[in-house]
Chain A
Amino acid sequence: MSAPVAIVEARGVGKVYPMPAGPVEALRDVSLTVAPGEYVAISGPSGCGKSTLLHLLGCVDTPTAGSLLFEGHPVRAMGEEERSRIRLRRIGFVFQRFYLLPMLTAWENVELVQSEAGMPAAERRARTRELLEYVGLGERAGHRPSQLSGGEMQRVAIARALANRPGLLLADEPTGELDDETGEQIGDLFDRVNADGTALVIVTHNPALAARARRRLAMRSGRLAAPSVVAGS
């Protein structure tokens, strides 16, 4: 029996940004494989390339060196529209600043990406209701982001990230703007999401959140600095 295809696989990936003062090497020779259902946390000082790596894994950007495969397909060969399609259907994003659309309600924020994916209206409604209840916000569906607390906004963002049943959820400092208690609740929610089968890659400075991951990686100066720490190993 063959091994399942990795959700995302980076082999010797590098990223160089051309700058007026000279090129900046944000990532160097990074290799990382995320299998379906994995839970990975990446930590490291600011500017070490964590977010750049996350953007590459999420097909937001393309590497300037090495190869990156998403579900076995080379990302560099994909056009912008193809990468958009993958981001819409296969990847969920959660950010430190939540990035909810301020003019839409919680319900509409969750429904938007399903609509773009072409999900039928009845299925969309059922899925949105299910997700808002899943994150504990069934009663706040009609509220706009400005009427929600930070923790609630992050829950809506997680519901939106899960809307199209992605195989991979990427989170960039998801507890960065939350207090410890709310951060714990978000950590619990991530645990549930992962237990339900979604692979998670979380970039975080929060040791408590990183400790929840089964695999913890450290980055320094654009490289994966330490061998993976696997929980329970």
Chain B
Amino acid sequence: MIASLRRLFLVLALVASARAAGAAAGASDPPPDILVSRGLMRERGLSVGQIVMLSADARGAGARPFRIAGVYEPTPDPSRFTAKRLEARMHLPDLLGLTADPGEAGAVDAVGAINIGLKDPADAGAFARELAARAPAVSVVPTAAGGDEHFVIIERFHMAISVVTMIGSTAFLLALMVIRADERREIAGLLRLLGLRRRRILLQALLEGLCIATAGAVFGVMFAAATQGAVNAFFQWRYDTTLVFVRVTPAIAARCVALALPLGVMAGLLASWTLLRRPVLDLLRR
């Protein structure tokens, strides 16, 4: 079994050259295999098959040889996307042997925590209860309860940005609609003078606002969908990660349209109503 050390940020000191490591390994059994993250491979100029010395100590104490069996792409972590992912994966016994304190009896057998991935995350609660019942000394905590903590924080952050953006854009939209309505002051005055009812003019403003808001929302969604690839590509290049930064899903698109339509219509109606409340002659006066 290969232990997944996604969260473990060991100081893995590559303390010797491949040749030196190979000489050291040649004296005994072949060194154990490890997987090295793409970032580490590139950073240190490593290659598959190479023998490296790893240590859990920054000064290189207790270094052991390992053979690079392959490269892997670390699972992107949104809370650490700016950090370089210089990581390695190894068999659990190798990790314990590398990190355990030799002076402490039984340290090699000690495991503080272990992550278990379930095929169906919905089973996490039942699995935790069953495990807790079988091994009372073990503290079992579902890590995915209520969603990933990092994503919850990012979701809240996005929500806050969205709210501020919405308030700002609504004020901007209202100002635009008022300006647009005022540009048509004379036309509104003429229509009132000819005897068109306020209700009819407002209905027209409503339909117009609906069309403009629909067109704006569709354009916004299409623009976001069209540019999400470029945005992702830029930030993935910038931070050397496979993390997806922007994803326009049907649910997000539907939410955008659902928010944009009533806002656009309300802004149009409000702007038109402020105009139509004025006397006809005021509207026609230059």
CA distance A115 to B180 in the complex (A): 25
Whether, in the assembled complex, B280 has its beta carbon less than 8 Å from a beta carbon of chain A, the answer is yes
Q: Is B129 an interface residue (CB 8 A)?
A: no
| Cβ contacts B181-214/A at 8 Å (1 or 0 each) | 0000011001111111110100000000000000
A-B contact pairs, 20 of them (CB 8 A): A55-B281, A60-B193, A61-B279, A61-B280, A85-B195, A86-B195, A87-B193, A87-B194, A88-B195, A89-B195, A93-B193, A99-B186, A99-B193, A101-B187, A101-B191, A112-B194, A116-B194, A116-B195, A116-B196, A116-B197
Of A61, A81, A88, the contact of B194 (CB 8 Å cutoff): A88
CA distance A116 to B280 in the complex (A): 18
Q: Which of B186, B187, B197, B281 contacts A60 (CB 8 A)?
A: B281
Is chain A's interface secondary structure helix, strand, loop, or mixed overall?
A: helix
A61–B281 CB distance below 8 A: yes
Let me know if A87 and B190 touch, CB within 8 A.
no
The complex places the Cα of A33 from the Cα of B161 at a distance, in Å, of 67
A69-111 interface mask toward B, CB cutoff 8 Å, 1 = contact, 0 = none?
Answer: 0000000000001001111110101000001010000000000
What is the total number of residues of chain B having a CB less than 8 Å from a CB of chain A? 15
On chain B, the residues within 8 Å of A91 by CB distance are 195
Query: How many angstroms from the CA of A211 to the CA of B261 in the assembled complex?
Result: 57
Candidates A84, A86, A99, A112; contact of B197 at CB < 8 Å: A84
Q: Give the contacts of A111-138 with B (CB-CB under 8 A).
A: 112-113, 116-117
CB < 8 Å: which of A84, A93, A99 contacts B196?
A84
Q: Is the CB of B192 within 8 A of A99?
A: no
Measured between beta carbons, the chain B residues less than 8 angstroms from A87 are 193-195
Report if A60-B280 is in contact (Cβ < 8 Å); known contacts: A81-B197, A85-B195, A116-B195.
Answer: yes
Known: A60-B280, A61-B281, A116-B200. A101 touches B195 (CB 8 A): no
Q: Is the CB of B194 within 8 A of A93?
A: yes
Complex-state Cα separation, A99 to B104, whole angstroms: 97
Task: Report the nearest B residue to A116, measured CB to CB.
Answer: B196
Shortest beta-carbon distance from A174 to chain B in Å = 15
A89 to B198, CA, bound (A): 16
Is the Cβ of B281 less than 8 Å from the Cβ of A84?
no
Among A9-68, those with CB < 8 Å from B are 55, 60-61
Residues of the A chain whose Cβ atoms lie less than 8 Å from the Cβ of B196: 84, 88, 112-113, 116
A113 engages B190 (CB within 8 Å): no
A85 to B197, CA, bound (A): 8
Contact residues in A for B281 (Cβ distance below 8 Å)? 55, 60-61
Chain B residues with CB under 8 Å of A101's CB are 187, 190-191
Sorted nearest first, the 5 A-B pairs with minimum C-beta distance are A88-B195, A87-B195, A84-B195, A99-B190, A116-B196
